[in-house]
Structures are given as structure tokens and as C-alpha cells.
Amino acid sequence: MGAQGRLQCGPALPIELLMAASSSPHVAAGDPPEPPAAAPAGWRARLRTALLGREEWQQRRLGIFFMSTVMYVAGIGSCQLAVWTGAWAPWQRNLVAGYLIVAHLLSYLVERSAWSRRLSDETLMVSQIGIAASAALLAYAMGGFARSGLLLVFGMQLMFMMLTVSPRRMRRIGWATILGFVAVSVTMQLLQPERFPLKEEVITLSLALGILPVMLAGALKVTGLRARLVKQQAALQAAMDRLQEMAGRDQLTGLHNRHHMVQRLAEALARQRRQPGPLCLALLDLDHFKRINDQFGHQVGDRVLQDFARAVGGSLRATDELARWGGEEFLVLLPHTAPADAQAVIERLREAYTRAAPLAAERPQQPAVTFSAGLVEHRMGDPIERSIERADQALYRAKDEGRNRTALG
């Protein structure tokens, strides 16, 4: 909104690094936002809150808005200067200055209200540019020897528009302003020829029609370049997001990989420190997987891993995380879940995998593929490595006790 103000003057891990990562104040994307910090006491803080509101988006908008207030004051000052130099009568100053004050105040009330949340930054900017352009046209209609200088306002308007609005809107506003100057000039020359001499208006309009469209064309070119740059940046960001997603995925199973799970564990620990509650981990390992590879080949082994990922991954709760930890071993993160409930989740996963019956259709002689699990509850204050080590020990105990079961650690 600084643009509008100027216009109206005329009249913006590896696991060993886990604890270092988990100590940072990172908040997961799905976490509830932290409550806002209380505003410092004092009249200045209360005044800031009263003027700018409490929400960040509104403070940002109104901060720029109040910067433009300086330009409004300068515009009103120029009106007073026009009176002192004899170019205007006091009533002309009052008309233009009153228009600026009322329009600025109404704009503030709109932006201060919650309704402005529905409006984009560009929409608010365009409305302010409209006020600026109309104020310049009104000042031009007041006449005086300095009125041709108001055409410079159009150049300033173009400069700010090309940094803020879309090319289509800029084209419409630009031509509307040019035609507005022409209409005001012709109308005032017809109504008050003594104050708007024909020769002066012809010279002024020739200058305007010769230079302003060229300025508009140049500004549109810059705006087009800016729009393309924004699109390229968006495409680059999307590509980077895809690469990051691919870097966090296991290529064979499509599950998240160890690197991604380490990050999620760090986030879960940070969340548990903020909001204490149970947090469980489970290591799952496919039983006799080496024998499957040796008997049927690695292609079949790969299909077993894929079947497991599909069956178990599709049966998890929305809050749970499953990742391929290494080889035929998988890690399940169960936040906000007590051990008894976590064990019930693991057994539900076992049932889902059993129903999937991998290899049963094409190799009925092959025993059903099962998995063993080691389940632990993370102890607050322990390194996460310790909890994973306990889960690994519980997994070995489940293997020793006959496989296809869950052991608590």
C-alpha cells in the first residue's frame, strides 16, 4: 500500500543426529499451532494491538497501510501548498483533502475488519490504486498551473503496479487512468475554457498520449517478466518438494524411508515435550525372509515386501507412521498411544497382513508369510536410540519365542 500512498501524494538424519534435531523448536506440519505469545504490557503494546490487530497477516497489511499514511499527509500538504501559491481556492483544498481522508479512513476500517481476510493482497492494492488515481483526476479537475505535474502520478502508479498486480489488471487500470485524464481534460476545457485553455490542454494531452502509453507498455513488460518469474519459482518449489518427497521414500515399497522416519521421530519427541503423553514404537520383521529369498529368488522377496507395505500401510491409523527401517525390518511410530492400545494396533496389522495372504495364490505350498514385532513405550528423557534398542531386543525375544507374535520391551 506504499504505492497507493505515493499516488495520492499527487493531490513485500541419521539416527545419531536425532537428538540434535529433536532439540530444535521444529513443529510438524500436522501439529496444532503453538498459542501466540502474550503481548508485552504497556500502553505502546495496547495501542499497537488496537491499531494493527493481533493476527500476523493483519499486522503485516496494516503496517504497510500506515506507511502509506505518510504519503496521504504529503498529498494533503500539497493541497495546502496549492492554496498558499494561489493555484487553488480553500474549498478546492478541502474537497481533495476531504476525499483523501475519508477514502483512507474507510480503507483502514475495511482492512482492520475480519472481513478483509476474504480479500487478497492484490485486491486491496487495486482498490487503493483506484482511490489514488481518482484523487489525482479530482486534483487535475481543480485546475491550476501545476496540474500537468499530476501526470507524474501516473508514472508512479505504474511503477508500483508492476510490482504488485497482475498484467491483466495493470492493463485495465493503466488504460482507465489514461482515458480518465483525457476525459477530465476535455470535459473541463469545455466547461471552463478560461481555466483550461485549449492550447495548454492540447499540449498536455499530446504529452500524455505520447508518453503514458509507452510507459504503460514498458511497465506491462516488466509485470509480465515478474509473473513468469513467479510461475518459474512456483514450478521450482514444486520440483524441490517432489525431490524432497522422493528422498524420503523407499523406492521398492513406496513407504517412507529411515531418513524420513528419523525426522518424524524427532518431531514426535519435540511434541511429547510440549504435550506430555504416551509414545510407542514397534519394530516389525518378516519371519524367515532369507529363506523366501533363497527358495524363490529376490524378485519374489521384493513382492513380499511390497505386499507387506501395501497391506500394513493401508491399515494404519491416520496418526501412525510406517517406514522401512532396513532390509525386511519396518518401524511403526504410534504417537499418543498407550502400550495396550499400541499392541492392539499391531495385532490388527497382523490380521490385515494375514488376510492379504502373500504368495498363497501362486505358491500354495509356501507357508504363510508372517512377521514378529517388538513393541516399547518411549520413556521421556531417554534418548530415542535407547527406545529403538529396547524395541530391537523385544523383537529378538519374539523371534526366540516362536515368531509371528509381539513382545513388549
Query: Which of the residues are catalytic?
Result: 328
How far is it, in rounded angstroms, from Cα 122 to Cα 405? 60
Only one residue has cell 521444529, namely 26
Q: Are 373 and 283 in contact (CB under 8 A)?
A: yes
Question: In this structure, what C-alpha cell is assigned to residue 234?
Answer: 512456483
Question: In this structure, what C-alpha cell is assigned to residue 89?
Answer: 481556492
Give the 3-state secondary structure of residue 13: coil
Measured between alpha carbons, how far is residue 306 from residues 81, 302, 309, 314, 344 in Å? 79, 6, 5, 12, 23
How far is residue 130 CA from its own chain's centroid? Answer: 28
Nearest by Cα to 78 from 91, 67, 88, 69: 88
Q: Are 133 and 173 in contact (CB under 8 A)?
A: yes
How far is it, in rounded angstroms, from Cα 238 to Cα 271? 28
Question: In this structure, what C-alpha cell is assigned to residue 359?
Answer: 504368495
Please provide the DSSP assignment of 223-249 as one string. HHHHHHHHHHHHHHHHHHHHHHHHHTB
291 φ, ψ to 5°? -65, -35
Sign of torsion over alpha carbons 394, 399, 402, 406: positive
How far is it, in rounded angstroms, from Cα 387 to Cα 335? 14
| DSSP code, position 16 | G
